[in-house]
A and B are shown apart, each in its own frame.
Chain A
Amino acid sequence: MKCTDFLKELTDYLDGRLTENLRVELDEHLHWCHECHVVMNTTKKTIEIYRDNQLYELPEDLRNRLHQAIMTKCRGSKPGKKTST
């Protein structure tokens, strides 16, 4: 297996969506290819960092204001029917 072949399967490898045979082949490649090992590890870390650090939390006061604004607009409208403008 070449590094380019490994790279093509990286997403499915990280998501655990490969067939057993292919996964074994990729593991074997990782065993001797340091560069692919680093790319795999750091890509995994990239996903984890973004997953663990929610960047845009909605503050509770803003959340309440938005909720109020949405419901006021909905009250002036009907479900499934646009208000005439």
Chain B
Amino acid sequence: METIQKGVGESITSELALVQAAKGGDLEAFSELVRRYDRNIFRIAQHITHNEEDAQDVVQDAFLKSYQNLDQFQGNSKFYTWLVRIAVNEALMKLRRRRNDRTVSLDEDVETEDGSIPREVADWAPNPEQLYKQAELSDILKKTIQGLAPGFRTVFVLRDVEGMSTEETAEMLGLSVPAVKSRLLRARLQLRERLARYFKSKQAGDGQQ
């Protein structure tokens, strides 16, 4: 199996070699792929579904589907790109079921300009994160990102949280590069606008009697 040396005594088997081995029925190889990407898939699924139980199901279903459809994986893209695409579809399906709404899709509400035009132009406190305790900060960040339409928050999560490139994100979501860029800009601006209410600098005298 092709390996990449990483320091003394350490080696990382390449993704492609693991996929090839798994295709041939090597379950250990597939197990390694699960270990490699399960945390990322869980995070992405949580961001889309907002529900831990659904996110757990998405992790299981996405890996099982990828295993069952390995013969359809052509190797033109990375396995991870292909896996995320499966997981995003599973997560959107969960969201649809939970909302009992067949129209939930990556295109939902993407035409809205709400929050995309900056209104809040007061500067933020120098270290806004330190205004809140860690648990409070996490709640604020979760609540804020959950308020975005699925098509916006999915692009933001892949691009800015998971660190994928614009091109990879486009491939994962089946969108064009300009569509990813446009959604990313609006997602970033909407989040900024909504976070401003928590993080903006207090004017002198604010909060004093």
| Interface residue ranges, A against B (CB under 8 Å) | 7-8, 10-12, 14-15, 34-35, 38-39, 41-43, 45-47, 49-58, 62-63, 66-67, 69-71, 73-75, 77-83
A15 to B27, CA, bound (A): 40
Cross-chain pairs A/B with CB under 8 angstroms, 30 sampled: A10-B185, A11-B181, A35-B121, A39-B118, A42-B196, A43-B188, A45-B128, A46-B192, A47-B160, A50-B141, A51-B161, A53-B137, A55-B43, A55-B145, A57-B39, A63-B42, A67-B31, A67-B35, A69-B60, A70-B34, A73-B64, A74-B63, A77-B64, A79-B24, A79-B30, A79-B70, A80-B71, A81-B71, A82-B69, A83-B68
Instruction: Count chain B residues whose beta carbon lies closer than 8 angstroms to a beta carbon of A.
Output: 54
A73 to B68, CA, bound (A): 10
Q: A42-B192, A51-B161, A62-B56 are in contact. Are A74 and B64 (CB under 8 A)?
A: yes
Map CB proximity to A onto B54-70 as digits: 1 under 8 Å, 0 otherwise.
Answer: 01100110011001111
What number of A-B contacts does a CB cutoff of 8 Å give?
A: 138
B170 lies within 8 A of chain A by Cβ: no
A8 to B184, CA, bound (A): 11
Chain B stretch 19-63: residues in CB contact (< 8 A) with chain A: 22-25, 27, 30-31, 34-35, 38-39, 42-43, 46-47, 55-56, 59-60, 63
Q: Is the CB of B70 within 8 A of A50?
A: no
B123 lies within 8 A of chain A by Cβ: yes
Q: Is the CB of B25 within 8 A of A11?
A: no
Q: Is the CB of A47 within 8 A of B60?
A: no
B77 lies within 8 A of chain A by Cβ: no
Chain A residues near B22: list those with CB within 8 A: 79
What's the nearest-Cβ distance from chain A to residue B202, in Å? Answer: 15
